[in-house]
Structure 1
């Protein structure tokens, strides 16, 4: 008897870089991640989020730790101490490198079961909240975090070319979930877990720049 194998497609785009300001002197760039798939591994078949470089660094560290070195992870584009918000070439190169990283990650079946990957791609939780949720220390599950955070209509590449200001997701802050039911939840649920050390944003690449340069 002949077996039929159905190929499941996972397509990902990293695009629409935007400058976000922390304060008068500090800014960073985040990128829109659009995912479209028919894979049974994903709760959502279409999703959009915005993530910054430091969050990619966190994701790679978590995937490497969780896979226990059984998977050889692709490299991220290197951190550049001279990265400039005004250099379209540097921004484009980094954006392409981030997309290549995700494309290679999504080709590895071992990594597709990692909760951190799903939260990174399909929720708007911050790094600390993603880590807590993946560890079961929140009042909501990974699936709930994914399902309730910001489903938007997918914008095609043709749409983007017609109007570059259009994006899959109009939210610029990648650190918070837009769903108030999730946003207002406190964690961890167990007081004994309160001493757990959550990874912060020590890997942040925040660019110092005069306000007038952006």
Structure 2
């Protein structure tokens, strides 16, 4: 697979948003004709596939089998809180579980965005080479939605809900004690104070910078392939995200113009005699197309855009994971170099080297196990969003086409009768 002149490794390029032929055979079923706003059938376009068939997703998602789950989490009921210094949203987090390590089978706590940030940082801190699902950004994209509007709050609620569900479905992260605290403790204040000290965090930063400067001499080939795939994927998903957001903005502008178009034809019809009926029909068509456009734009905003943007954030997460893995390898290599140059302290240093070797092996193994799970999520999540958007686009354009076909049908001249009884058209 060649993208912008880059040839991906064989092991990974074949899986980039692939649609496996054997697994993805679609089921087509007959679809009835459309109806107008009054419930009357409107002509179907014979050239459009959406009038003949409906694309249905296959339901084969074995890794999401509900019967194997023992931890259910839901984020809902957002409430705005206003204090003297800030305004923030609190979300209710409901948990149901059958796990023995929980004291109860049901919990209800209330969390704000900062609490989710604390949980995610703890998960990354304790599992540096596992792929922790991203959170939505603290601030929204300018021009897309207003902060603290109903749309913003609902979009964030869905993203926070997905973060917890992804974490609960993870075979390692779901057993994190920090997740259990987050789900069960009414107040997190005491737990938040137990984080690493400032000097400890500074030391980690200094080591990471030193490793970056020193460079990595020999990354294993499989992780080099992961890095190459990630760079291409990140570039493409970021471009798709920007274009999708621009399309939504332009659709909203088009919708605003359609809404101005309708009353203009109504006013025009009021001042005409001969064309009044035709102008009113056009106004009606514009109004119906406006409703379809509004629905289609909403679908793009709520389904496609969040799915694509989520994996922009996932790509950034993966870059952080790869850097942490490389840092672990760099620390191991540095200890090996010291061991080779200091024979007198060889025994003590050998223990440190062995410890770093074990840490590197563990980091490599957990990342190799998590990588295919993440790739499977990409395929499932984006495939679902893209298929849903394709179906919605087909339905949208077909309905608009049917609306204007009905207008043409209504404008056909009536047959007039001649004196001899013959009909002339």
Q: Normalization by structure 1: what TM-score?
A: 0.53
Q: Distance in 2 between matches of 1:134 and 1:40?
A: 27
Q: Which has the higher strand share?
A: 1
Q: Distance in 1 between matches of 2:86 and 2:175?
A: 36
Q: Distance in 2 between matches of 1:79 and 1:118?
A: 24
- Report 1:140-155 matches (<5 A): none
Which protein, 1 or 2, shows the higher relative CO under an 8 Å CA cutoff with sep ≥ 6? Answer: 1
Q: Distance in 2 between matches of 1:116 and 1:123?
A: 10
Q: CA deviation at 1:42?
A: 2.7
Q: Residue by residue, what CA displacement relative to the aligned partner does 1:132-176 show, whole Å, maximum 9, x if unpaired?
A: 5799xxxxxxxxxxxxxxxxxxxxxxxxxxxxxxxxxxxxxxxxx
SS in 1 for 2:80: strand
1:186 — aligned with what? Answer: none
Q: Residue by residue, what CA displacement relative to the aligned partner does 1:109-138 show, whole Å, maximum 9, x if unpaired?
A: 212332211111111123x41245799xxx
Q: CA deviation at 1:67?
A: 1.3
The answer (yes or no) to whether the contact 2:108–2:184 under 8 Å persists in 1 is: yes
Note the residue ranges of structure 2 that are not aligned, 5 or more in a row.
1-66, 197-425
The answer (yes or no) to whether the contact 1:119–1:125 under 8 Å persists in 2 is: no
Q: CA deviation at 1:40?
A: 2.8
Q: CA deviation at 1:37?
A: 1.4
2:73 — aligned with what? Answer: 12
1:39 — aligned with what? Answer: 99
CA RMSD of aligned residues (A): 2.3
1:107 is aligned to 2:166? no
Between the two proteins, the alignment pairs up a number of residues equal to: 126
SS in 2 for 1:117: helix
The answer (yes or no) to whether the contact 2:76–2:91 under 8 Å persists in 1 is: yes
Q: CA deviation at 1:54?
A: 1.1
Q: Distance in 2 between matches of 1:130 and 1:44?
A: 20
The answer (yes or no) to whether the contact 1:120–1:130 under 8 Å persists in 2 is: no
User: Computing the radius of gyration over CA atoms, which structure comes out larger, 1 or 2?
Assistant: 2
Q: Distance in 2 between matches of 1:134 and 1:113?
A: 19
Note the residue ranges of structure 1 that are not aligned, 5 or more in a row.
1-5, 136-214
Q: Residue by residue, what CA displacement relative to the aligned partner does 1:17-70 show, whole Å, maximum 9, x if unpaired?
A: 1111221x521111000001112343321000000011111110110101132x
Q: Which has the higher helix share?
A: 2
The answer (yes or no) to whether the contact 2:136–2:156 under 8 Å persists in 1 is: yes
Q: Residue by residue, what CA displacement relative to the aligned partner does 1:79-107 show, whole Å, maximum 9, x if unpaired?
A: 2166522x101100000000000000011
